[in-house]
Structure 1
Amino acid sequence: MSKYNKLDHLLLLIQTLSKSEKRNFKLYVNRIKKNTFSKFIKLFEIMKKMNFYDEKKILKNTHISKMQLSNVKAHLYKQILISLKLQYTEENYDIQIREYLDFSKILYNKGLYIQSLKLLKKAKIIARYYESNTILLELVEFEKMIESQHITRSLYSRSGELSSESKELIEKIQCNNALSNLSLELYGLYLKVGYVRNKKDKVFIETYFRTNLPKFDIDKLSFYEKLFLYQAQVWYHYIRQDFIMCYRSSHKWVELFKNHTKEKKISPVSYLKGYHYLLETLFYLNHYSKFIDVLKKFEQEVQNGEILMNGNTKILIFMYIYTNRINKHYMEGTFSEGIKKVIPSLFTNFKKIFNRLDSHYIMILYYKIACLYFGSGDNKNTILYLSKIMENKKKNLRQDLQCFARLLYLIACYESGLDENMDQKIQSTYKFFIQMDDWYIVQKEIIYFFKNLGNVYPHQIKSQFKKLRDKLIKYYNHPYEKRTFLYLDIISWLNSKIENKSVEVIINEKFIKTNYQK
């Protein structure tokens, strides 16, 4: 994959166009006859056949000079966006509202005030229906300006209505913004550091949540206010590792959409995220039967076309279906089966959307794949995908995942026999944990274990594994130390070394025993 391909926004936009979008673009530009032989049309024809950006090929096959290329690309980019806007105006309510507002301003500037107000009225009906309060406030303010500056025969009856409508909208927007800001800030904290690591983190997150949560009456909240509230609660409980409360909030999140079916089409991304965090919390709670039930419903909704498909939702559906299919195999201890059933189609689809995935999603996917290979006993591929995470230059993104990828990397190197530079690898891992301020008891014990392993005689190794297991198991339910076990099933690996069984067998036996008892 060409590095430059990622950076060329025009090529990336063209690659995302469907056949109907390309056809619509051609119809749009060819409505003007002189466009038929335009340089930007020729550029489009060349670039739509490219898999990666090739400037030499463009200059060779067009009459565009190197000096002109930048301007022609910018013009083509703009024309594609206008074409897409025209194609999807009816499907996007916010574009419709903006269009009415634009037309209303044109009419106002021509002195046609009554006609301008009629269009504003139409725009307000749509905005109210979709609870678009921010746009609605803009419409009301423009209407107030028309009414206050010009005699439209409705001034006396409308002035009081518009004033109270404006005040009510401002109150709603303030509450909505407070909840959405809280949700966004908590999500940002999670992306940076993951779960709480100590009492200081816990006190900080609890204080932050409590002081930034606005007062509200749940029965009076609108759909979006409830959505932002449940999102904020999910991030809050998730960071604190309170997965029971996280389950309750994510369940409310999903149920909110099921009780407001039109919003599933308006905000499909939020609906998908709610489903994913519901599945994620069930995974961490190890509630297998409920997890399978929710996953089946989720996949069924996707197959039945109940979720709107666009560029954003396709990426999220890919991520959420595959990560949760992998999680299913984690829970069952069927890692080898997971590699056969999940990995081939995962990579086929991954190649199609790689350029549009952000670093966070790619990092999660690589870690999931690495753990799947590790569980199956394939340490070579485990090391390959962990190395991809470790090579990531964005140290402020998912520091937790980067830290635990290094721990699993040490284990995989030991298992594969690639331990000739083990001291150097241990030192590198130690420095990284210190640098990330993530140096706690469980991590220390694992690092010290590997550091001292070279001084242990072969007949003593099993007893060392037992000692480490006995030390670590004490922290399995510790408020802060337990987070290590969410990323890495170190206890199952230690049991596999003690019992001379594979990790896959150990986890599968535990799964069968647990579900048989249930």
Structure 2
Amino acid sequence: MMPNRSTDALFQLIKSLHKAEKRHFKLYIKRATAKENLKIVELFDTLDKLDDYEERELLKKLPSIKKPQLNNIKSHLYKQLLASLRDLKSTDTLELQLSEQLDNARILYHKGLKHQAMRILERAKELATANGKFNYLAQVISLEKKIETLHITRTIQEKTEKLTQEALEISGHIDRVTRLSNLALRLYGWYVMHGHARNEKDETGIRQFFKEQLPSDAFELTDFYEKLYLYQSYTWYAFIRQDFLMYYRYSKKWVDLFYEQEVMQKVEIGHFIKGLHNLLNAHFDLRNYQQFQVVLKQFEEFAKTPIAQQHDNFRIHTDIYINSARLNWHLMTGTFKEGLGLVNTMAENLKEYELYVDPHRIVVFYYKFATLYFGSGDYNTCIDYLQKIINDTSANLRIDLQSYARLMHMMAHYELGNDDIMESQIKSVYRFMAKMKNLTVVEEEMFRFIRHSFGLSPRKLKPELEKFLQKIKHLEKNRFETRAFAYLDIISWVESKVFEKPMNQVINEKYLASRKRRY
């Protein structure tokens, strides 16, 4: 099961605070001396010391607060914490700066100081324009238009024409960005639910959807955000279809966009690190070993910068993406036992990050851990991690991962020689994968081989393994079959049996051979 998370929003917020943020809150709240504020400080201190949120225990520690009062005091504390954080971090992000300027302009306007409000709006407009923040521009211009419409502030004709033109341009831009970002989001949502395209029906549906939703002038667009969402759309489109070359091309365009406009690395750090994550995945899928190492080193260097360290959310996700890439390196080079040296630390990090990490990320890590243990021959620990995925019903994500977790689970029991449960395992896994429409030719052949191999002597088993290998080897380049090889390197597993070598050695030899070819 996934870790239990407290669902109390106030408790989560307090547990996410650093020492400096807690200290600032205490100073911030002391500015007001209302009796109510004394109670929220008491509540804050008590919640800060708790390991888990339990209301009955909380009330025991707070005799000055009665149960009927608790919700109101919690609500007040939550609002004050957010106000304190806003006060502390008002210059941390461009969005907060723009919001503050807009708020200040509205306050001045309502005070009747229209010219002062307009000066602030001009500065806000320059800042938003320089950083491509068109949604904020729309709000700035809306307030400018309101002031100009209701009051005579300057040469009305000249200002009217300028504002009208700006509003039209921004409206068109926002519409284009909205359509492209919607397309990228819906494609990503499809992948999160289903994984890769499973068959011709999925492929046809995705192609048709993409063709209908992609703007006809997509490649004529020049704005940063328009290009960003266009490249993201193509990245997810290619990844779903397992067109890994296209996936690489567009994830690289995505990242290169940030190197061309470096200021956007700070403005849109979330999109930047997600792009690096996808570029690393593309190199992993294509087994571009050298380029994988180059991008990973760049990512690790970026992770040390003040930009990457500034916000908890992006610091945590940077760490997660880099750790995922480090595991992938060991998976694709066959250095499984070295990879296992990272597992305990990463598993502890997942516990630390459980407030911030969605269940999907945890499932992916568990699957990678299980794969490392499987490839290292530790099938019992592999099963332990797979059980965490199979038994979890909270995420309801990634049907493909649920399917392949069950398949690897069955293979681990096969390796352990648990013949007494293999028949029920085969039936259960086959039924699940068929129901989820997740069976490919590779899996069909896998089930056929395992059913047939029961009771065979080692002398008779080897020819059957060789036949199995020949049946699936030619499918390695088939896009609808590569999904099986991407999630579980069945070919290397069978080769390890045929050539009587550990699976990690088989994969490592392929990696070493690719290095020799390169040099």
TM-score (normalizing by structure 1): 0.95
Alpha-carbon distance in structure 2 between the residues aligned to 1:98 and 1:88? 12
Q: 1:485: which partner in 2? A: 485
1:25-36 mapped onto 2 (5 Å cutoff):
25-34=25-34
- 8 Å CA contact 1:5–1:12 kept in 2: the answer is no
SS at match of 2:477: coil
C-alpha deviation, 1:494, in angstroms: 0.8
Q: Does 1:73 align with 2:70?
A: no
Q: 1:135: which partner in 2? A: 136
Alpha-carbon distance in structure 2 between the residues aligned to 1:55 and 1:517? 64
C-alpha deviation, 1:164, in angstroms: 0.8
Runs of 5+ unmatched residues, structure 2: none
C-alpha deviation, 1:474, in angstroms: 2.3
- 8 Å CA contact 1:268–1:308 kept in 2: the answer is no
Most deviating of 42-51 and 466-475: 466-475
Q: 2:513: which partner in 1? A: 513
Alpha-carbon distance in structure 2 between the residues aligned to 1:429 and 1:476? 23
Q: 1:108: which partner in 2? A: 109
1:256-275 mapped onto 2 (5 Å cutoff):
256-275=257-276
Alpha-carbon distance in structure 2 between the residues aligned to 1:96 and 1:508? 51
Q: Which has the higher contact order (CA 8 A, sep 6+)?
A: 2
C-alpha deviation, 1:120, in angstroms: 2.0
Q: 1:347: which partner in 2? A: 347
C-alpha deviation, 1:38, in angstroms: 1.8
Alpha-carbon distance in structure 2 between the residues aligned to 1:512 and 1:352? 36
SS at match of 1:6: coil
1:168-207 mapped onto 2 (5 Å cutoff):
168-207=169-208
Alpha-carbon distance in structure 2 between the residues aligned to 1:37 and 1:187? 44
- 8 Å CA contact 1:234–1:249 kept in 2: the answer is yes
**Inter-CA distance 49–377: structure 2 relative to 1 (3 Å threshold):** same
Q: Does 1:44 align with 2:44?
A: yes
Alpha-carbon distance in structure 2 between the residues aligned to 1:239 and 1:37? 52
C-alpha deviation, 1:223, in angstroms: 1.1
Most deviating of 380-389 and 297-306: 297-306
C-alpha deviation, 1:266, in angstroms: 1.1
C-alpha deviation, 1:348, in angstroms: 3.2
C-alpha deviation, 1:454, in angstroms: 2.8
- 8 Å CA contact 1:301–1:307 kept in 2: the answer is yes
Q: 1:440: which partner in 2? A: 440
- 8 Å CA contact 1:29–1:35 kept in 2: the answer is no
1:224-239 mapped onto 2 (5 Å cutoff):
224-239=225-240
The AA in structure 2 aligned to 1:463 is P
- 8 Å CA contact 2:243–2:479 kept in 1: the answer is no
Q: How many residues align?
A: 517
The AA in structure 2 aligned to 1:435 is K
Q: 1:404: which partner in 2? A: 404
C-alpha RMSD of the superposition: 2.0
Alpha-carbon distance in structure 1 between the residues aligned to 2:2 and 2:322? 27
Q: 1:392: which partner in 2? A: 392
Instruction: State the 4+ residue runs in structure 1 displaced beyond 6 angstroms.
Output: 1-4
C-alpha deviation, 1:217, in angstroms: 6.4
**Inter-CA distance 207–126: structure 2 relative to 1 (3 Å threshold):** same
- 8 Å CA contact 2:492–2:507 kept in 1: the answer is yes
1:36-435 mapped onto 2 (5 Å cutoff):
38-62=38-62, 63-216=64-217, 218=219, 220-305=221-306, 307-340=308-341, 342-394=342-394, 396-435=396-435
Identity of aligned residues (%): 39
Runs of 5+ unmatched residues, structure 1: none
C-alpha deviation, 1:52, in angstroms: 1.3
- 8 Å CA contact 1:386–1:409 kept in 2: the answer is yes
The AA in structure 2 aligned to 1:259 is E
Alpha-carbon distance in structure 2 between the residues aligned to 1:70 and 1:427? 51
C-alpha deviation, 1:285, in angstroms: 0.6
C-alpha deviation, 1:283, in angstroms: 0.8
Alpha-carbon distance in structure 2 between the residues aligned to 1:379 and 1:440? 24
- 8 Å CA contact 2:177–2:225 kept in 1: the answer is yes
**Inter-CA distance 220–491: structure 2 relative to 1 (3 Å threshold):** closer
- 8 Å CA contact 1:5–1:52 kept in 2: the answer is no
Q: Deviations over 1:222-259 (max 9, x none)?
A: 11111111111111111111111211111111111111
